[in-house]
Amino acid sequence: MIKWRAESTHLCFYPFLSSASKYVEESGATLENLISSATFERARLRGKARILEAIKDGVIIKPAVITNAQAEMELLSYPFARILVSCIHDAHLVRRYVLSEAKAAHELLLADSSRDGDIIYEMAEEFSIHVDFFREHVQMPFVDYLRFTANLHDKKWKLVNRGLEKGRVKLEKGEFIRIIQEAIYERIMKDLPLNVPIAVCGAIKGYTDDIKRELEETRKKFGDAECFIVKDPNFFPPCITHILSNLKEGINVTHGARFAVTAFLLNLGLTEDEIIEIYKNSPDFEEEQTRYQVRHIAGDMGSVRYTAPSCGTMRTYGNCIGSDDICEKISHPLNYYRLKLKTKPKKSQAKAHA
């Protein structure tokens, strides 16, 4: 067993590991102590901070940890954070928190693996991924590959675009670490929200109230941004509204849906940065890759500027979600927007274009 797995100063940065859970169990800390003892106040504050960082920044900042006492507080903050999000019981918050934990672990794993390649072996063992390691790449069973890339919609993750040999997929080590992020996400998401007793939730109400306030403030800001300043999403067709709702909630959407909503918003005049902001909740968000794709659809990469897909194309790719009386009159999502504008009072139209 690699030494780092047994040291609290390392384990505290990977609290989802089975060895980290065992360490916490053997620490002697009880649920009652964790939620009420003054000894664990630092752990409770750090647990709250984990969630606030997830809400504000989309990633959890790893603090400097030197002593075992600091490491233990960091370790204990993780189960307390899980209790907090479970008591709040908000699906969007749960997804955002889990994604933030997974992203933070991914960034740390990239840094740690450059210093100690053994950590990748340990992670593969932890998640029962049968991987063959070579000097510059790894190979993993395609069944495991398909499982952990189900939510990665970039074309490069499609099995047809990978090297496949004797049922095993070839990956660069950096790509395999990205696969591990998905495994981490899956593990942290498991069992959330927890079934926390009402009495426990009541005892930590002060912490959850602080989080709820921040969540509400963030939603107000996001809601303002969601109006895109120059366009009113109330005039968007059901298909576009559905895709945007999924993106807002941190749910992965298909490549075709991403293309459709990006082209639609570009056609309405949104900027590159406004559109990229919409994708930041996506589990597989990578700003550089997203920016490249938005620019490509916008025609800034020397390609033709794309128009949003027609209603027929949206139906073909399963992106036509429901319909209303306006849908029956049009054959293109952009025409839906134009027609709905015409049916609104002039005051509403002026506001939409303000």
Q: Kindly report the number of other CB atoms within 10 A of residue 83's CB atom.
A: 23
Say if 105 falls within a structural domain: yes
CA 348, CA 341: separation in Å to the nearest integer? 8
Is 269 found in the same domain as 150? Answer: no
Say if 222 falls within a structural domain: no
Task: Note whether 113 and 119 are within 8 A (CB).
Answer: yes
pLDDT tens-digit series, residues 81-133: 999 999 999 888 998 899 899 989 999 998 888 887 788 888 999 999 889 98
Say if pTM beats, i.e. exceeds, 0.95: no
Give whole-number Cα distances, 151 to 25, 148, 182, 198, 297, in Å.
32, 7, 8, 34, 22
Is 308 found in the same domain as 186? Answer: no
pLDDT band at 317 (very low <50, low <70, confident <90, very high): confident
Is 126 found in the same domain as 96? Answer: yes
Domain membership of residue 267 as a residue range:
227-352
Is 236 found in the same domain as 193? Answer: no
Is 195 found in the same domain as 64? Answer: yes
- % of the chain with per-residue pLDDT over 70: 91
pLDDT for the residue numbered 227: 39
* pLDDT of 229 above 50: no
* pLDDT of 211 above 90: yes
pLDDT tens-digit series, residues 268-291: 888 888 898 888 888 878 888 898
Is 175 found in the same domain as 70? Answer: yes
Total number of domains constituting the chain: 2
Task: Note whether 89 and 145 are within 8 A (CB).
Answer: no
* pLDDT of 331 above 60: yes
pLDDT for the residue numbered 92: 82
Is 254 found in the same domain as 193? Answer: no
- % of the chain with per-residue pLDDT over 90: 41
Task: Report the candidate in 105, 110, 82, 282 with the shortest Cα–Cα distance to residue 193.
Answer: 82
* pLDDT of 218 above 90: no
* pLDDT of 219 above 80: no
The token pair at 250 is 């941190």
- Domain containing residue 64: CATH number: 1.20.930
pLDDT tens-digit series, residues 124-163: 999 998 899 888 889 999 999 998 888 787 778 888 888 7
CB burial string 44-77: b at 16+ within 10 A, e below: bebbbebbbbbbeebbbeeeebeeeebbbbbbbb
Is 231 found in the same domain as 186? Answer: no
3-state secondary structure of 98: helix
pLDDT, the chain, mean = 85
